[in-house]
Each structure stands twice: as structure tokens, then as C-alpha cells.
Amino acid sequence: MKPPPFDYVAPPSLDEAVAVLADEDQDSKVLAGGQSLIPLLSLRLAYPDVLVDLGRIDGLGSIEHADDTVVIGAMATQHEAETSHLLHELCPLVPEALANVAHPQIRSRGTVGGSVAHGDPAAELPAVVVALDATVRAVGPNGTRTIAARDLYSGMMTTTLREDEVLTSVEIPTVREGSGSACVEVARRAGDYAMAGAVAQVTVEKGTFADTRLVLFSVSDTPARIDAVERALTGAEAKPEVIARATAAAAEDLDLLADPRVSQDYARHLAEVVARRALTTALERSA
Amino acid sequence: MSTHTITLTVNGREHTEEVEARLTLADLLRERLDLTATHLGCEHGVCGACTVLLDGKPARSCLTLAVQAEGAKIRTLEGLADPEGELHPVQQGFWEKHGMQCGFCTPGIVMSVVELLERDPDPSDDEIAATLGGHLCRCTGYVKIREAVREAVRLRSGSHSPQEIRR
Ligand SMILES: Cc1cc2nc3c(=O)[nH]c(=O)nc-3n(C[C@H](O)[C@H](O)[C@H](O)COP(=O)(O)OP(=O)(O)OC[C@H]3O[C@@H](n4cnc5c(N)ncnc54)[C@H](O)[C@@H]3O)c2cc1C
Ligand code: FES
Ligand code: FES
């Protein structure tokens, strides 16, 4: 047996799960799909006293259309979201990004909420929720609160979720008329975490960029929204050359995470390439 | 450290076991139930050797706790064919096309492919590649494995390959 010893509970309700998490005498951790947490346990990088499995709570896994958002329950699997017709139609960036997450055999168990809460800076979904200005809902001992995705990631694998809170859903704004989006990444092998990746969404009105979103992942310690490019493009002529100029300028100023496997020059090059390709593809798709 | 009494169905047979919370499904299958076709390579989700079907979906048994499988239906390689009977079409495909050398990766790949073909009897090359991408094979090479999958598709659809007819 590789993981360290721990207790396990699988409460039937959210309230009971939160009650265990709120008990300060023990260090507890939420267990969702386990596709990040169980490796951490087996590598003995995590030593919780108790795992609180959300898998027996009903109603946390739905994917529903509500006003101008699609609400994805935290326990919806990555596979379910990847194959959701609703998301393909209304939030196509989500399934596109998910296809790059690990492998089908992992997406069958890994959850949307788990990926968003885990906050790996190399992960696709955190970048998507930041780019699309999604909102997450969390339930804790004091009730429910909503957190804007752009306020969620505070540092390397750290979020502003409290330890006694359960992320229950992610609300993704639906795509607007005239918008296009894309997720582009470079990884050593298909399914690996990216060396650099970008998600982009553009909205074009009368030949100019009315709205531009660009988030890079795997380049810094949190998903990095590239304001400089968003500012440079918004209002500018919607053309690939304009994108190329903006991404080249922004790449020079990027504050890159030191990564022993990727030299700084190469990382900067990759960041520029994925940013340009994601925006250019998003532009093509906006037509 | 909590222990739990769990009941799960493995290859159609119900088992009730007392397990520590930290016992993985892979260790339960291999060490308690003696179902050693499910192999353990990396034990952190990368290699795919431990892949089984959990309620019909592929799952890394090294990344699933036995307690999480309470009430679940598990299928492993041992459940595919009767020891005295014919091989499962996916196994037959691997046999015909030499889709293995050492065979370490094979049980996991076969289970993934069984799931793929039950979901989509005629998958595209991309779908096959995505499924095989979740498995590491260090010796055969993926070309023979892909041929084995294509053979399995043919065998399942009832149209026989030249080798089949010759025998
Ligand atoms: C081989 C391999 C390759 C991978 N490649 C990629 C990849 O390319 N891109 C990628 O994005 N991911 C990748 N992953 C990770 C995978 O996507 C995980 O499924 C995901 O990161 C975590 O989701 P989970 O449901 O499995 O969560 P778990 O592993 O159960 O939990 C992860 C963390 O989040 C917390 N948590 C989970 N759910 C909640 C919740 N609802 N509320 C509060 N806290 C919660 C847990 O306490 C834990 O700290 C890979 C995993 C493996 C094993
Ligand atoms: S042993 Fe489970 S994926 Fe390698
Ligand atoms: S046959 Fe040896 S690892 Fe695949």
C-alpha cells in the first residue's frame, strides 16, 4: 500500500461534508475524482487525517443551462463535460480545452470541480474559467458564496477557497454572437501537462475586436490573464497581423516561472506561439 | 485509519471485503481477490497498466480507492473470456496481429479498447489514438497495437480477416 493511513468518510449530504471539513481537530481534504489527490497521497506529498468523498452526494454532477450561463456541477466528470451537447453549443471552449486534459481513462473519473479547485497552473480548466470570467459557487459552514474565477487563484496551487469550503458548481457565461474561442498548447506527448498553453476568446463587431480574452497556462504560478494583449487588441482591427504584433510585444514582458525542463528563451517562444495561434484560431472561428 | 466493509461486483461475482481506507482498487483486485491480470506499473496514473472498467467506464485502479468502489461493478481482463472457451474479440485481435510483446501493458489496453468498442463499434483513427494515448507500451510499438484494435473491430462486426478464414 502506497498512501499513508487516513480515515475516509462519504457523507450523503453537503452539510455533513462541510461539518467534517469544519472540524478543526483534524486535517481533512475533499476527495472528488482522486486523479490528482490520490497520486499526491501515493507519492506521500499529502498526509491528510481524513478524506471527505463527495461521490455519494446527490445532485452535484449536473450540467444545466440557466439564463446566460451554463452551470456545471462540481462532480460532473471531465468526460461528461467534454461530451455535453449543451457545452459544445453554448461554451465550446470548455469541451475543447478538456480534450487536452490527461487521457480519456482519467477524464472518466476526474471532475470539473476537482480541476478548478486543484488550481494546477499547468491545467487547462483554470485558464478557461479565468478567461471566460466564470463564477464558482462554494458552500461552507457560513453558507454559500460566489467567487469570481479571476479572484480564485492566489498562488502556486493555492486558491481563495477556504479549507472548510466545498466548491459546488462553476458557472460559465455562454458564448456571444460574433465570438470565437480556442485552446492551443504544446506538450511533449498527447495528454501530458503542457509546456505552454493558451486559451483565447474574441468577439468581433464591424471588423474590430470588441472584446478579447487571453489566458496563458503553464507559464506562471497561476493562470495568467494577459492584459497587455487584451488592451492592445480591443478596439483594433480584427486581423491576424494585429494579433501577431500584440502577442510578440507582450511575450517580451512576460514574467515566466522558472522551469528546469524548459529554458526561459524557449518558454517565451512557446508562450508567444500558443498565444498567437489561440487568438488567430479564435478570430477565424468568430466569423 | 478507518476500515470499511465494502461490497462490490467483480466480473459478475459479488465480493464483500474489509478494507483499510487507503487500499487502492488495484491492490484489492491483485492481493485480496488474486486477480493479477490487472498490472501495476507507475501507480500514479501515467502508464495505464492498471486500467479496469468501473460501472462501464475506464478507470485507473491505482487512482481509485477500494472504498470508492463500494457498490460498483468492476470488469477486469479475467472476466472477458471463459478460460476454456473462445477469446474475446479484442483479445483475439491482439493475438492475430501480435499486438503485444512482453504483455505488461496489454490487460489495461485491452480493457480500454473493450470500452471503446462497446461505446463505438466503428471508431475513427483519432478515437483509437486517443484511447491508446492513455497507455504506455515500452516494447510492441503502437502500430501493431492499432492493427490489433482494427482487427478487433472487424471480428466484432462479424466480417473475418484473412487469417481467420485460413484457420
Ligand atoms: C496522468 C495524469 C495526467 C494528467 N494530465 C492533466 C492535464 O494535462 N491537464 C489537467 O488539467 N489535469 C491533468 N491531470 C489532473 C486531472 O485533470 C485531475 O482530474 C484534476 O486535476 C483533479 O480533479 P479530481 O476530480 O480528480 O480531483 P481530486 O484529485 O479528487 O482533488 C484534487 C484537489 O482538489 C480538491 N477538491 C476537489 N474537488 C473539490 C471541491 N468540489 N471543492 C473543494 N475542493 C475540491 C481536493 O481536496 C484536492 O486537493 C492529470 C492527471 C493524471 C493522473
Ligand atoms: S499503475 Fe495505474 S496508471 Fe500506471
Ligand atoms: S508489450 Fe511490453 S509494454 Fe507493451
According to the model, what pLDDT value does residue B163 have?
A: 46
Distance CA A161, CA A154 (A): 10
According to the model, what pLDDT value does residue B1 have?
A: 83
List the CATH code of the domain at B3-79.
3.10.20.30
Facing A105 at nearest CB: one of B1, B20, B58: B58
Q: Is the CB of B46 under 6 A from ligand 3?
A: no
Interface confidence, given as ipTM, is 0.94
Looking at beta carbons, which residues of chain A come within 8 Å of B43?
Answer: 2, 42
Q: Is B71 left (phi over 0), alpha (psi -120 to 50) or beta?
A: left
Q: Tell me the CATH class for A63-173.
A: alpha beta
Q: Which residue has the cell 477486469?
A: B76
Question: In the beta sheet, which residues pair with residue B8?
Answer: B15
According to the model, what pLDDT value does residue B166 have?
A: 40
Looking at beta carbons, which residues of chain A come within 8 Å of B24?
Answer: 1-3, 38, 42
**Chain B residues within 8 Å of chain A (Cβ atoms):** 1-2, 4, 20-24, 27, 43-45, 48, 51, 54, 57-60, 62-65, 67-68, 70, 112, 129-131, 133-135
For residue A44, the Cα-to-chain-centroid distance in whole angstroms is 25
CA distances from A178 to A247, B11, B18 (A): 22, 51, 57
What does the pLDDT look like over B41-94, one tens digit per residue?
A: 999 999 999 999 999 999 999 999 999 999 999 999 999 998 889 999 999 999
Mutate-to-test residue for ligand 2 from B60, B76, B137, highest number of ligand atoms within 8 A of CB: B60
Q: How confident is the model over B148-152, as a mean pLDDT?
A: 98
Looking at beta carbons, which residues of chain A come within 8 Å of B22?
Answer: 1, 3-6, 41
pLDDT at B167 over 50: no
pTM over 0.90: yes
A51 touches B: beta carbon within 8 Å: yes
Distance CA A8, CA A37 (A): 13
What does the pLDDT look like over B6-44, one tens digit per residue?
A: 999 999 999 999 999 999 999 999 999 999 999 999 999
Q: End-to-end CA distance of chain A: give it in Å, rounded.
A: 54
According to the model, what pLDDT value does residue B70 have?
A: 97
List the CATH code of the domain at A179-285.
3.30.390.50
Distance CA A152, CA A60 (A): 20
What does the pLDDT look like over B84-96, one tens digit per residue?
A: 899 999 999 999 9
According to the model, what pLDDT value does residue B160 have?
A: 53
Contacts of A227 (CB under 8 A, 6+ apart): none
pLDDT at B118 over 70: yes
Cα distance from B44 to chain A (closest Cα, Å)?
A: 5
According to the model, what pLDDT value does residue A191 have?
A: 83
Picking from A122, A167, A176, A175, the residue whose alpha carbon sits closest to that of residue A149 is: A167
Which protein residues touch ligand 1 with a CB less than 6 Å away? A 29-37, 39, 54, 74, 101-102, 106, 110-111, 113-115, 117-118, 120, 123-125, 161, 166-167, 193; B 45-46
pLDDT at B161 over 60: no
CATH superfamily of this structure's domain B89-157: [2Fe-2S]-binding domain (1.10.150.120)
Mutate-to-test residue for ligand 2 from B50, B54, B112, highest number of ligand atoms within 8 A of CB: B50
Confirm or reject CATH 3.30.43.10 for domain A7-53, answering yes or no: yes
Query: Closest residue of B to A4, CA-based?
Result: B22
Query: Closest residue of B to A39, CA-based?
Result: B44
Question: For chain A, what are the domain ranges?
Answer: 7-53, 63-173, 179-285
Confidence of residue B164 (pLDDT cuts 50, 70, 90): very low
Question: For chain B, what are the domain ranges?
Answer: 3-79, 89-157
Contact B68 A55 (CB under 8 A): yes
Q: How confident is the model over B97-126, as a mean pLDDT?
A: 97
pLDDT tens by residue, chain A, 287 residues: 689 999 999 999 999 999 999 999 999 999 999 999 999 999 999 999 999 999 999 999 999 999 999 999 999 999 999 999 999 999 999 999 999 999 999 999 999 999 999 999 999 999 999 999 999 999 999 999 999 999 999 999 999 999 999 999 999 999 999 999 999 999 998 888 999 999 999 999 999 999 999 999 999 999 999 999 999 999 999 999 999 999 999 999 898 888 888 899 999 999 999 999 999 999 999 98
Q: Is the CB of B134 under 6 A from ligand 2?
A: no
CA distances from B5 to A11, B21, B23, B70 (A): 16, 10, 12, 9
